[in-house]
Amino acid sequence: MTRVHPANDATIAAAAARLAAGDLVAFPTETVYGLGADARNDHAVAAVYEAKGRPQFNPLIAHVADLSAAEEIAVFDDRAYALAQAYWPGPLTLVLPKKDQTLSKLATAGLETIGVRVPAHPVAQKLLRAFDGPVVAPSANASGRLSPTSAVHVDQSLGDKAGYILAGGRSAVGLESTIVDVSGETAYLLRAGAVTQDDIENLIGPVTPSLHAEGGDVRAPGQLLQHYAPCTALRLNAVDVAPDEALLAFGSARFMGVRGGGGFARDISGGRYMNLSENGDLTEAAANLFAMLHALDTVGATSIAVMPIPDTGLGVAINDRLRRAAGG
C-alpha cells in the first residue's frame, strides 16, 4: 500500500509540500487521525468534504503548531489563554473569534469564529511546523464511520481519497478533542473529550454544556453551532432572475431569463452575478459557496436567486447549506 508512508523527516517534508500544493494529507494526532488540508485554500477544503462524503458543511478545526501560530488566526482573551496554557499541546479545541480573513470561508462555514487546536502528537507537530500554516483536519474517515486511530483505519475507510497517509502509530487518546467555545461571554462545552468539564471549570469557572451529535444536527436547545446566513433572502432553484435580484449561478447561466427584460444572466451588472462553477463542477462550487454568498450579500439586491444544484456528491452538502441559509 504505497499511499501509507511511515512518518520520517522525508515523508513529513513530502506531506507538507502536498499540503502547500492544495492536496490532502492524512496524519496522526493524539486524539484521532485527521484528514488535513491548507486552511486558506477553499479548493483544498472542499476536497476534504468530498473525500469524507460529508452531507453537511460543518465548520472545521484549524490545527497549528503552537500558541503563537494560533494567535495569528484567532483572538485570545484571559479564559482562552488559561485553557491554552494548561492543555496545549493536547486534546482541547477552542472556538474563538476569527482574526485572519485569509482563512477559507468554507473551513469556518462562513462563521466569524474558528475552532483552533494545537495537537501534541510529534508527527502532527513536525508536519505543522514544516507546512508553517493552519491545517484544517476533521477525522480521517468516511462520513458516518468510526474515527480512525491508526493509518490502517484511514486507508480502509478512505483509501485513495485520503491522498497521502502519514503513519505514526496508534492515537493515544482515541477520542476527538474536547471543544470549548469561549468566543462570547458565556463559555460552552460543545464536545466532550479527554479534557473534562471539571478540568475546564477549575480554570475558567462555569461552563454550559451544549453538546451536539458529531457531524450532525444539534440536539441540545440553545446550542452554539451557529450557521452563517446572508442577510439577503435566498430564492432557491431559480429558473429566472428578477431585475433587482442577484444571481448565484451553477453551470451555464446562458438561458437564465432576466424577468421582464430579456437578455442573459451574464448581463446582470454591478457584481450581482456570480457562478459557483461554470463547468458544473461540485468541488469548485463548494469551494466558492461561502465566499460568493458573502459577496452577493453586499450588493444591495432584494434577494439572491440561486440556480438548482444537483443533489449528488458534494451537491447534497451544498443544498443542505443553501436550505439553512434560506432559513429552513
- Under the rule (CB under 6 A), what is the footprint of ligand TXA? 29, 31-32, 34, 58-61, 93, 95, 108, 111, 113-115, 117, 119, 137-139, 176-177, 179, 181, 190, 215, 224-225
- Interaction partner, residue 149 (ligand TXA, Mg ion, none; CB < 5-8 Å by kind): none
- Tallying the residues shown for the chain, one arrives at 328
- Of 171 and 303, which CB lies nearer to ligand TXA in the complex structure? 171
**Which residue, 274 or 293, is less far from ligand TXA as judged by CB?**
293
For residues 74 and 241, which CB has a smaller minimum distance to ligand TXA in the complex?
74
Name every residue whose Cβ is closer than 8 Å to that of residue 315 and which is 6 or more positions away in sequence.
Answer: 282, 285, 309
Could you tell me if 60 and 107 are in contact, meaning their C-beta atoms sit under 8 angstroms apart?
yes
Binding site for Mg ion (CB under 5 A): 139
Residue 211 Cβ, how far from Mg ion at the closest point, in Å? 14
Nearest distance from residue 98's CB to ligand TXA, in Å? 8
Of the pair 174, 310, the CB lying nearest ligand TXA is at 174
Order of strands, edge to edge, in the sheet holding 164-167?
A: 4-6, 164-167, 25-27, 34-38, 135-136, 61-63, 113-117, 92-97, 178-181, 188-191, 208-209
In the bound complex, what is the minimum distance in angstroms from residue 175's beta carbon to ligand TXA?
7
21: CB partners within 8 A, 6+ apart: none
Residue 307 Cβ vs Mg ion, minimum distance, rounded to whole Å: 31
* Residue 132 CB, nearest approach to Mg ion (Å): 26
Contacts of 221 (CB under 8 A, 6+ apart): none
- Tell me if 276 sits within 8 A of 247, measured CB to CB: no
